[in-house]
Structure 1
């Protein structure tokens, strides 16, 4: 005969399986209708994974040194099992996210001593905002890993707080902290608040030689971050710190500190809060699912009240509440004080939604103020409906679809990629030049038969950075070719510049338009960008 506790456990397991199924259905459903364009950042992850299988393992994401190759390594394992396909990249992200949901359900239930709290948190992650759906379905190199490792660090911190004499928990926390810093520095938002719990655990521990525990944590962290440490020894620590603190997106270079700080605070309120709560998708400032936004706002205001009440709670779990809230505080602090605050997309706010979902679970299970259960159930149903509606509405607007691209000039319609590959292959134009948003998807989709390095600007003001040209072997391949073509997108001024330059050089050519792609091919001689690129190489 099954006891009541066993029946409850079985019921909880089935509900958890249902949450997993719901999360998968949402993502697979959106993927099946082609809602997610295959953009260049994701293509680079796929190319890295291919190169790993060929025996070339990079320490970091191509062209930068603040995001490790952990994601590409996991994708490489997927490629080894199922082939080098886009769906494999996204399957890896879905599996990582399911792991994040599982850890978050456990975390919420542990902190608030309520299975209901855990399941509600899981429901809000299974049907999340558009921002979370996007960055946990497509890969940008490390966001899925950051959320998963972050949730694991929070759970380990709870374990340490409850059993401060368990050395294994300290070692695991140290290892995954190091691994997280290498995988993606966004995990610092988790390391900072959990480190206070870890230090408190060392103090509470009955072991007199607490410093030995601390040394073991440090050693485990070094092991986790070993690829990063070796790279820093070979290339210098200064480059690493510059990259970690956002040099790649430092668009406000030269601005005074106060004006930059004000701008980042504006971005926080205008872009960060709205995208985190799901009021807008990450690629535009236009609202989404507008009819339900007021009700969603009410829900999240109630959750914020719950948070403030919990932080004033004098219970023994207060430190855990502050730790979860500390993740939000750390994200905001890093966003405001570093160049990452110049990014309006909302991807850096992913940890905030997860922590809000945790407190939302607490609000539903045991509100800190009087509010009846039917009303809580109703408003929970509304917020889930709001999230689902916003995802479906975003998917229906294709182009751009559910895209990672905030700037309209980077939103290439990739539904024409197969036609582009066929055209270039048919005409023997296997080498050439394009912009960042064309080059890498083209290389991946053609199995690297078509190599077009990003030496052309995509900004309408001709701004260009050589950071776009991320993979040296491609440079060697194209520069050694005696036949090249050019591909542009959304840039009439650049097209005119290319035509005028060809005429001035006495070069003949043909043109073709395929979707958003403007192709200059069949050149009478190879022309290098240095011969025609004064308009952008001089910037």
Structure 2
């Protein structure tokens, strides 16, 4: 059975082939350009970098000076691969917030290209492009990874394992599958987060292996590659690292995590509910969607659920060719593993825990393949349009404060003009070490080019111990506070200094409250 007209049986003649190549280039180009345009609010506010991403930038700066670690500072579950790539970027551009954002975005663009290439070989270019739209017009859980390191490259490498397995065919199949097995293990070394995707990727690769000639060799090659990947994981787990937050699994969390998942996280992930961050309290509050948007949101949920149900039926009842069912199973198993992991994890705590469910969206194009094959490109595009629109709206408004009333703006925090004034004032005071709440500390350290270095107020939040050692030895230090981080108040620190009998001077600098201490 031909999978799709024009895929296995293309029109003959050079002109037709040239038109097909042009169409492939155009569709993929549109997906990639759309992926960049959809993230413009963050890109034009790149200096709004958060502290987690800033740590990657800081480690990249140290890599360029010969300081190497196999793991990300303070995070034994993440490799330093992202920092190494950022270091390569910095070697060309110099330390830059835009480069720090561009490196994970490039990883996302590669991911989109890999997914599109896998899908177009099965359902054709049109359906493949439509199925990739949830990656282009994506929710916050995807955008937050695509724009702020680290994590994106581990996801891209996991999808690369899928791409390698999907290309397995003919006499070279064992080599493709061996590469797939090894790359999958390497993805887990890059970030343990990808571990939840591995059962689905493993089943998919094994299914590909048994579907090619000389299947015994193919399966053996896959297992050999996987063994090499597991060896990489075992080696990485044996290395001495300064671990960050540790996740655990417990059945006791199922009830609370289920409520959080169905009430907030899944609706947020699928655009059924839109939340924006209150700039004063930092709480995420529901966006009052107009009734037409509510209609789209309802249709989005039904449309995606219908696609999931059809994928399940197609896989179980063996409806459609094996390549279609394989991709559907990949999406379904990966999504099920993500939900299962969420329910028993100790990590979910609030709305932003939707990031732990992000594999559902990364794998959504595969989940949608059986529906795309069954109804054809045009009807598939119409059916999935509400889901794409709802996700796009939710992801766009989640850029706040870089989006006001639906329009992207250059926000003061995003261009960091006040931070420049603060840095100059601190240096003029002779301050080369300071302290602030975590989400200010490493952000400021990166923006200040490590002069001054700003450490977290809480020692438990340290990601790089030498910074604190420098703070402890400095003759002049400062404590920095800002209304954008109400989780730490200057009055609390002033009371502590008063209780210790430590003299300080309070300054108001470009909206920041600064307590200067001379030892």
Which category describes the TM-score, using the shorter chain as reference length? 0.7 to 0.9
User: 2:489 aligned with 1:471, yes or no?
Assistant: no
SS state at 1:136 partner: helix
The 1:415/1:362 distance shift into structure 2, 3 A limit, reads: farther
Take 1:503 and 1:29, find their aligned partners in 2: how far apart are those partners?
A: 43
In the alignment, what sits opposite 2:448?
446
More strand by share: 2
In the alignment, what sits opposite 1:356?
364
Note if contact 1:131-1:276 (Cα within 8 Å) is conserved in structure 2. Answer: yes
1:285-320 deviations in Å (ceiling 9; x for gaps): 514755414313313422321222232221342333
1:419-469 deviations in Å (ceiling 9; x for gaps): 22122112112213222122211211111111222134xxxxxxxxx4311
Take 1:191 and 1:337, find their aligned partners in 2: how far apart are those partners?
A: 17
In the alignment, what sits opposite 1:116?
126
How many residues align structurally?
A: 483
1:360-389 deviations in Å (ceiling 9; x for gaps): 465456439xxx957x65565555554454
User: 2:245 aligned with 1:233, yes or no?
Assistant: no
User: 2:274 aligned with 1:280, yes or no?
Assistant: yes
User: 2:20 aligned with 1:8, yes or no?
Assistant: yes
In the alignment, what sits opposite 2:148?
138
The 1:149/1:287 distance shift into structure 2, 3 A limit, reads: farther
Take 2:200 and 2:236, find their aligned partners in 1: how far apart are those partners?
A: 27
Once the two structures are superposed, the pairs formed by residues 113-192 of structure 1 within 5 Å of their partners are 113-139=123-149, 141-142=150-151, 144-160=152-168, 166-192=173-199
Take 2:309 and 2:477, find their aligned partners in 1: how far apart are those partners?
A: 61
Take 2:193 and 2:101, find their aligned partners in 1: how far apart are those partners?
A: 20
In the alignment, what sits opposite 2:306?
305
Note if contact 2:174-2:222 (Cα within 8 Å) is conserved in structure 1. Answer: no
Once the two structures are superposed, the pairs formed by residues 341-420 of structure 1 within 5 Å of their partners are 341-342=348-349, 344-345=351-352, 346-360=354-368, 363=371, 366-367=374-375, 373=378, 377=381, 383-395=387-399, 397-398=401-402, 416-420=418-422
The 1:311/1:77 distance shift into structure 2, 3 A limit, reads: same
Note if contact 1:44-1:440 (Cα within 8 Å) is conserved in structure 2. Answer: yes
TM-score (norm 2): 0.82
SS state at 1:339 partner: coil
In the alignment, what sits opposite 2:246?
248
In the alignment, what sits opposite 2:495?
500
SS state at 2:38 partner: helix
Note if contact 2:78-2:189 (Cα within 8 Å) is conserved in structure 1. Answer: yes
Q: Which moved more, 1:116-125 or 1:510-519?
A: 510-519
Note if contact 1:434-1:452 (Cα within 8 Å) is conserved in structure 2. Answer: yes
The structural deviation recorded for 1:42 is 0.9
The structural deviation recorded for 1:214 is 5.3
Note if contact 1:282-1:347 (Cα within 8 Å) is conserved in structure 2. Answer: no
SS state at 1:487 partner: strand
SS state at 2:147 partner: coil
Q: Which moved more, 1:10-19 or 1:350-359?
A: 350-359
Take 2:337 and 2:441, find their aligned partners in 1: how far apart are those partners?
A: 36
Take 1:201 and 1:102, find their aligned partners in 2: how far apart are those partners?
A: 20
The structural deviation recorded for 1:412 is 11
User: 2:489 aligned with 1:488, yes or no?
Assistant: no
The 1:164/1:272 distance shift into structure 2, 3 A limit, reads: farther
In the alignment, what sits opposite 1:68?
79
Superposition RMSD on alpha carbons, in Å?
3.4
Match of 2:505 among 502, 505, 510: 510
The 1:343/1:206 distance shift into structure 2, 3 A limit, reads: farther
TM-score (norm 1): 0.79
Note if contact 2:204-2:329 (Cα within 8 Å) is conserved in structure 1. Answer: no
Once the two structures are superposed, the pairs formed by residues 4-83 of structure 1 within 5 Å of their partners are 4-28=16-40, 30-32=42-44, 34=45, 37-83=48-94
The structural deviation recorded for 1:82 is 1.3
1:487-523 deviations in Å (ceiling 9; x for gaps): 23455985334333433444332112346632101x3
Note if contact 1:413-1:516 (Cα within 8 Å) is conserved in structure 2. Answer: no
